[in-house]
């Protein structure tokens, strides 16, 4: 049957950022229609699915937003691991080292490691009880915009009319494409290889990162108990090998970096090694008439700093705050209001893009002069407490000084 829906906000997407955007607007009093892809049939649950290999290091901005939406308290706390320290290691015979810890940052914890599944289950539970949220599963075919709002047309003949459409539909955003927003794209020639391991020695809440030069960047993030989650930003050829060899061989390779600190690593699920492409994506704008982009639809950065998801949560918080603060005579999708959102996010997004891209280039080059310089830089930064505190403050989400 044809359904013509009307709401203040139409959100396109079905990931954690899209769900958070829907909750945030609904709790701010806006009516929301959330358009998600038609659901594929689900296979029957097969007992305990184990630990999710996709995890996020959520900072204080994400924590504050999710707490305000009553989502943080709905997470399975037994599957959330606080990060109390971050240890960065250079490469070569005279490797540089850089350490951060919660005590030095004057905060209780630096970040929290949360599984994708845990986060989405908490968001889904909140959405089931949310007022003013209508869920629609379907395929969008066109986005039409005019002076009063926007209409999303669906393949089944239905339409969704809203004052504002929010593109929260990921790196390959359909919404962004409909708005003809230009895009700067560059592949890093790397893939993120992920898997989970039990570690022989306690990790003590520390995240470890090794810049290896030719082999990319290895990060081991703490999970509850004596477990860690791997994110290895590996050159494509090496990523192929790592995925083909499997988790047992991966654990043997990791011993070169992690054995002194974590002891022997044992795969939690030897068959489970996943990978995803690493790229830099810079859309030329985060807004268009009656449209705002958030999350990966608005920016994609290298995962070496673990802040891609945090940028998305900061987008959501800023977009909702900007619209709530608009003058009474201005509509939700007013061009000036959306321009304020874009300006407010520009510096933070640009800084993260430049920082992660610069570090990926610097530490990805396998040249001895650069290796000496970057190891010297890590050691020098470790001895400059004022600069370290500023870096930590930004990583926390500018919630701590």
312, pLDDT greater than 70: yes
Query: What pLDDT band is residue 123 in, cutting at 50, 70 and 90?
Result: very high
Distance CA 92, CA 317 (A): 42
Cβ 233 vs Cβ 192: under 8 Å: yes
Separation in Å, CA 224 to CA 77, 118, 197, 305: 10, 13, 11, 21
In this structure, what token pair is assigned to residue 262?
């974590």
CATH topology of domain 55-119+188-278+367-396: D-Amino Acid Oxidase; Chain A, domain 2 (3.30.9)
Distances in Å between the alpha carbon of 270 and those of 43, 53, 188, 195? 22, 12, 27, 9
The share of the chain scoring above pLDDT 90, in percent, equals 69
Residue 23 has pLDDT above 50, yes or no: yes
Containing 322, the helix (H) or strand (E) segment is helix 308-324
Q: What is the mean pLDDT of residues 47-55?
A: 82
- 332-352 pLDDT, tens per residue? 999 999 999 999 999 989 888
Residue 111 has pLDDT above 70, yes or no: yes
* Domain residue ranges of the chain, discontinuous segments joined by +: 4-39+129-184+280-357, 55-119+188-278+367-396
φ/ψ of residue 219, rounded to 5: -125, 135
Is 359 buried (19+), middle (13-18) or exposed (0-12) by CB count in 10 A?
middle
* pLDDT reading at 378 higher than 50: no
Q: Say if 4-39+129-184+280-357 and 55-119+188-278+367-396 have the same CATH topology.
A: no
Residue 3 pLDDT level (bands cut at 50, 70, 90): confident
> What is the reported pLDDT for 393?
55
Predicted confidence at residue 367, as pLDDT, reads 43
Its pTM stands at 0.88
**Confidence class for position 101, pLDDT limits 50, 70, 90:** confident
What average pLDDT score do residues 104-114 get? 82
Under DSSP, the state recorded for 300 is B
Q: Is the pLDDT of residue 211 over 90?
A: no
pLDDT at 395: 53
Topology of the domain covering 4-39+129-184+280-357: FAD/NAD(P)-binding domain (3.50.50)
Distance CA 101, CA 116 (A): 25
Confidence of residue 38 (pLDDT cuts 50, 70, 90): confident
Indicate whether 266 pLDDT > 70: yes
**pLDDT (0 to 100) of residue 47:** 57
Residue 180 to residue 197: CA distance in whole angstroms: 43
pLDDT of residue 387: 47
pLDDT at 384: 45
pLDDT digits (tens, 9 = 90+) for 145-174: 999 999 999 999 999 999 999 999 999 999
Backbone φ, ψ for residue 54 (5° rounding) = -95, 115
Handedness of CA 250, 252, 257, 260 (dihedral sign): positive
User: Predicted confidence band at 390 (pLDDT cuts at 50, 70, 90)?
Assistant: low
Of 333, 287, 338, 341, residue with least CA distance to 317: 341
Residue-wise pLDDT for 175-206, tens only, equals: 999 999 999 999 989 999 999 999 999 999 99
pLDDT given at position 380: 43
- pLDDT over 60 (residue 7): yes
């Amino acid at each position: 049957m044809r359904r013509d829906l009307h709401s203040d906000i139409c959100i396109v997407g079905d990931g954690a950022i899209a769900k958070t955007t829907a909750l945030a607007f609904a709790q701010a009093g806006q009516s929301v229609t959330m358009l998600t892809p038609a659901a594929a049939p689900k296979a029957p649950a097969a007992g305990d699915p184990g630990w999710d290999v996709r995890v996020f290091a959520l900072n204080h901005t994400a924590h504050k937003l999710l707490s305000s939406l009553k989502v943080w308290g709905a997470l399975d706390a037994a599957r959330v691991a606080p990060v109390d320290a971050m240890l960065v290691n250079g490469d070569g015979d005279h490797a540089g080292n850089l350490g951060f810890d919660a005590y030095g940052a004057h905060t209780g914890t630096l970040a929290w490691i949360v599984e994708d599944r845990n986060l989405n289950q908490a968001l889904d539970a909140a959405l089931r009880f949310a007022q003013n949220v209508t869920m629609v599963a379907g395929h969008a075919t066109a986005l039409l915009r005019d002076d009063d709002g926007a209409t999303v047309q669906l393949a089944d003949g239905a339409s969704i009319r809203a004052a504002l459409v929010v593109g929260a539909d990921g790196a390959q955003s359909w919404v962004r494409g409909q708005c003809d927003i230009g895009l700067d794209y560059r592949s890093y020639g790397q893939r993120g290889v992920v898997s989970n391991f039990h570690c022989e020695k306690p990790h003590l809440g520390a995240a470890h990162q090794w810049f290896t030069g030719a082999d990319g960047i290895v990060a081991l993030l703490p999970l509850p108990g004596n477990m860690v989650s791997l994110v290895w930003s590996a050159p494509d050829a090496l990523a192929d090998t790592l995925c083909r060899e499997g988790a047992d061989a991966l654990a043997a390779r990791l011993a070169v970096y992690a054995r002194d600190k974590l002891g022997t690593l044992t795969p939690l699920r030897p068959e489970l090694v996943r990978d995803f492409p690493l790229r830099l994506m810079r859309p030329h704008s985060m807004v268009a008439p009656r449209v705002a982009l958030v999350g990966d639809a608005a920016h994609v950065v290298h995962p070496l700093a673990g802040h891609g998801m945090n940028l998305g949560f900061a987008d959501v918080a800023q977009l909702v705050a900007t619209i709530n603060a608009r003058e009474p005579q201005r509509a939700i999708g007013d061009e000036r209001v959306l321009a304020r959102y874009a300006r407010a996010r520009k510096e933070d997004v640009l800084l993260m893009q430049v920082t992660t891209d610069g570090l990926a280039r610097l530490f990805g080059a396998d040249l001895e002069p650069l290796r000496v310089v970057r190891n010297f830089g890590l050691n020098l930064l470790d001895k400059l407490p004022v600069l370290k505190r500023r870096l930590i403050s930004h990583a926390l989400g500018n919630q701590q000084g």
